[in-house]
Copies of this chain bind each other. A is one copy, B any other.
Amino acid sequence: MHILIIGAAGMVGRKLTNRLVQDGRIGNKTIEQLSLVDVFEPERPKGFAGKVMTRAADLAEAGVAQALIAGRPDMIVHLAAIVSGEAEADFDRGYRINLDATRALFEAVRQEGLKSPYVPRLVFTSSIAVFGAPFPDKIGDEFFTTPLTSYGTQKAIGELLLSDYSRRGFFDGIGIRLPTICIRPGKPNKAASGFFSNILREPLAGQEAVLPVEDTVRHWHASPRAAVGFLVHAMTMDLSVLGARRNLTLPGLSATVAEQIEALRRVAGEKAVRRIRREPDPTIIRIVSGWPQNFDARRATALGFKAEQSFDEIIRIHIEEELGGKVA
């Protein structure tokens, strides 16, 4: 198998690459080639027996998608996007990267297939940002997509294109709406959702963290490990069962901030919890109030996608993957 990962230098892209290198195969097939692309050149994975291509390229630029697809990868994983905050701040850039580049990729696959038969699998990461408040208590699989951000709009359009290109037989696509990834490794960032990770990651590393919202705020989470599991499942599952409805809300864990903190207390003790400082931020409170809190992700669950069942588990995965098993 030849697998092309676009957005390979991001957090999820790197973890997916590591998993594929470690497995050496996808499903029951050997991975012969990995093509890793991002706006910054992705790191070359170590210890991979097959061929590796790494490239710095902007998918939105003319000719880039065609060049990547000319190698006819068997599977394409499209992770590249600019985040919600940036897509909101820079309207043109958001549409260019999140919509035009995605469409250019889809169109490059179609054009390649017009030369001679070519129908790769294409996995597209969408987002729960395709949904906009007001919501039912649990958002069902047939709830409509009325995004309240340009990012969510661009992802919802990507989903529609994915379905149409798949229905037409240009590729075999699946769109997966990832929960908010928690605990995100790295430094605290300015994303409005950053605190969900910060209030766990920083205390676990002996650092203070700021909680800008009430304890009662509820949100939808999955670990980075679950995210990689989702992608591998999307890359290997039988897609014929999807029919025409190619986009899925993935399972996650619905939890309040209070529940996150209780899990932190159980796993890392009171001293970790004491490192959380409450500093309400009206802007973040307002933004977060429009976000989904809970889903009934029945369809994806029935199709074999799996997320964590508790925040204790999510915290333990972080300690294992990022902290070498040790809490500060």
A143-B144, A145-B144, A145-B145 known; A244+B164 contact, CB < 8 A:
no
Is A160 an interface residue, CB under 8 A from the partner? yes
Partner of A157, one of B146, B160, B245: B160
Would B147 and A144 count as touching, CB distance under 8 A?
Answer: no
Residues of B contacting A164 in the complex (Cβ-Cβ under 8 angstroms): 147, 150, 153
A132-B244, A157-B160 known; A91+B146 contact, CB < 8 A:
no
Complex CA–CA separation, A153 to B244 (angstroms): 12
Is A163 an interface residue, CB under 8 A from the partner? yes
Which chain A residues numbered 148 to 175 have a C-beta less than 8 Å away from chain B?
A: 148, 150, 153, 156-157, 160-161, 163-164, 167-168
Q: How large is the interface on A (under 10, 10 to 19, 20 to 34, 35 or more residues)?
A: 20 to 34
Residues of B contacting A156 in the complex (Cβ-Cβ under 8 angstroms): 160
Is A137 an interface residue, CB under 8 A from the partner? no
Q: Residue among A132, A143, A157, A161 with the most chain B CB within 10 A? A: A157
- 3 shortest interchain CB distances as A-B pairs: A153-B164, A144-B144, A142-B144
Which chain A residues numbered 105 to 157 have a C-beta less than 8 Å away from chain B?
A: 132, 142-148, 150, 153, 156-157
On A, residues with C-beta under 8 Å from B are 91, 132, 142-148, 150, 153, 156-157, 160-161, 163-164, 167-168, 244-245
A153-B160, A161-B153 known; A148+B244 contact, CB < 8 A:
yes
Pick 19 A–B contacts, CB within 8 A, sort by A.
A91-B168, A142-B143, A142-B144, A143-B144, A144-B144, A145-B145, A146-B245, A147-B160, A147-B163, A147-B164, A148-B167, A148-B244, A150-B168, A153-B160, A153-B161, A153-B164, A157-B157, A157-B161, A160-B160
> Other than the known A147-B163, A150-B164, A160-B160, what 11 A-B pairs have Cβ atoms closer than 8 Å?
A142-B144, A143-B144, A144-B144, A145-B145, A146-B163, A148-B167, A148-B244, A153-B163, A153-B164, A156-B160, A157-B161
Complex CA–CA separation, A153 to B166 (angstroms): 12
Residues of B contacting A245 in the complex (Cβ-Cβ under 8 angstroms): 132, 146
Residues of B contacting A161 in the complex (Cβ-Cβ under 8 angstroms): 153, 157
Residues of B contacting A153 in the complex (Cβ-Cβ under 8 angstroms): 160-161, 163-164
